[in-house]
Each structure stands twice: as structure tokens, then as C-alpha cells.
């Protein structure tokens, strides 16, 4: 019961701190533990609406950083760093265009994307989205770059984790305290991107 109250407090705290959603604290906790977002870095945020993660990213990269956010829904923000938002489908993104907007390869790719939940096959749709994120990360990250993406625990979770480990030297799962107890969501966090694979 006490834990449930704590979850409600994240909602209240977001309003008090000026964040657009309680999910801001998930990214804060992920970054505190895994140091995902470097100061002055370039960050790609996939599924960025309503913009709470970009608010946190802006704090972390500082004035010299650059953010690029993508979501099916238009996102309007006021941030102190350079940033761009794109209304579009992550399955149809041009990696070269993303890098042009950022001024180079990204240091970090982040994703808080979740499928529209129906109660049936949600984990499979989540895994499909994660594979799209991995594909974009492979073609936009700098060698040594970092990744953090949401995934629903389910039948393909371990497969997606293994696919992440092909691209990164380190990859593991982590569930921030700010995640609701009843949620199936967790995060795959990866470091030291190996570089894009060369097609045979």
C-alpha cells in the first residue's frame, strides 16, 4: 500500500517540478544509475511525446547539447538547448536526416515508446517497436554510444535483449522505482555501441 502512495507522489512531483509527465523520473533514475546522457551530447528521443523526457535530457546535456525528438504526435516545447522535433513514424525515419539535424552521430538513443495496449499481444508489439529502435540506433549512434529503451516483459523480451547485446558490449534490463508496480514495462539499457554491422 505504501508503494502505491509513492507512485501517486511521482505524479504530484511532476506537476510541482514543471515536468509534462511523471515519466520524467524514470529517465532521471535510469540516468543516475547508468549515466546515459552526457553533458554537451547529442540525444535522439524516439516516442518523445508529451516531452517530459526531452525536458530531462535538456537539463542533462546543458546549453551545448542537441536533442532530436520523434513522435507520431506533434510536440511543442521550450528548452534551453538546441532541439528539433519531428512528427513521424519511427519505422519511416531517414537516419541521415536525423544525423544532419543533430550535427553528427548521436551519443545516446532513448525510447519510452509503448504500443497502444489491448491486453492481447502487447508484449509482441512492444518487441516490434524495440527492434525498430535498435535499427535506428545502429545507423545513428557513434561507436561507444548508449541506449535506453522501454520494453514490455513477455515472450520476446529475452530475444530482444540478446539482439541488443549483438550491437552493444553491455546490455541489461532495469525497472526504475518510478515505474508503477502493476506495469509490465521495464527498460533495456546498453552501453558501448560496437558500430554498425557491415552487410555481406
d(CA 74, CA 5): 32
pLDDT at position 155 = 92
| pLDDT tens-place values along the chain, 200 residues long | 334 435 567 767 776 766 777 888 999 999 999 999 999 999 999 999 999 999 999 999 999 999 999 999 999 999 999 999 999 999 999 999 999 999 999 999 999 998 888 878 899 999 999 999 999 999 999 999 999 999 999 999 999 999 999 999 999 999 998 887 677 899 999 999 999 886 54
Grid cell digits, residue 81: 538547448
Q: With H, G, I as helix, E, B as strand and everything else as coil, classify residue 49.
A: coil
User: Mind listing the domains of the chain with CATH numbers?
Assistant: 2-193 (3.40.50.150)
pLDDT at position 17 = 66
Q: Where are the alpha helices (DSSP H) in the chain?
A: 2-17, 24-34, 52-61, 95-102, 122-140, 157-167
pLDDT at position 48 = 95
Residues acting as catalytic residues = 150
Q: Under a CB-based contact definition with an 8 Å cutoff, are residues 93 and 134 in contact?
A: no
Q: With H, G, I as helix, E, B as strand and everything else as coil, classify residue 41.
A: coil
What is the tens place of the pLDDT at every residue in 64-88? 999 999 999 999 999 999 999 999 9
Amino acid at each position: 500500500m505504501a508503494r502505491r502512495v509513492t507512485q501517486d507522489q511521482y505524479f504530484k512531483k511532476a506537476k510541482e517540478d514543471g515536468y509534462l509527465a511523471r515519466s520524467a523520473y524514470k529517465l532521471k533514475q535510469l540516468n543516475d544509475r547508468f549515466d546515459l546522457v552526457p553533458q554537451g551530447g547529442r540525444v535522439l528521443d524516439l516516442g518523445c511525446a508529451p516531452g517530459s523526457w526531452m525536458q530531462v535530457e535538456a537539463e542533462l546535456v546543458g546549453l551545448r547539447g542537441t536533442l532530436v525528438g520523434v513522435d507520431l504526435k506533434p510536440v511543442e516545447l521550450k528548452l534551453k538547448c538546441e532541439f528539433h522535433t519531428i512528427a513521424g513514424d519511427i519505422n519511416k525515419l531517414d537516419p541521415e536526416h536525423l544525423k544532419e539535424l543533430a550535427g553528427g552521430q548521436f551519443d545516446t538513443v532513448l525510447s519510452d515508446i509503448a504500443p497502444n495496449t489491448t491486453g492481447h499481444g502487447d508484449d509482441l508489439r512492444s518487441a516490434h517497436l524495440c527492434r525498430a529502435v535498435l535499427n535506428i540506433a545502429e545507423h545513428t549512434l557513434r561507436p561507444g554510444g548508449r541506449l535506453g529503451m522501454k520494453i514490455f516483459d513477455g515472450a520476446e523480451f529475452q530475444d530482444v535483449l540478446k539482439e541488443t547485446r549483438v550491437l552493444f558490449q553491455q546490455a541489461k534490463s532495469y525497472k526504475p522505482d518510478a515505474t508503477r508496480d502493476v506495469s509490465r514495462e521495464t527498460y533495456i539499457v546498453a552501453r558501448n555501441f560496437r558500430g554498425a554491422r557491415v552487410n555481406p
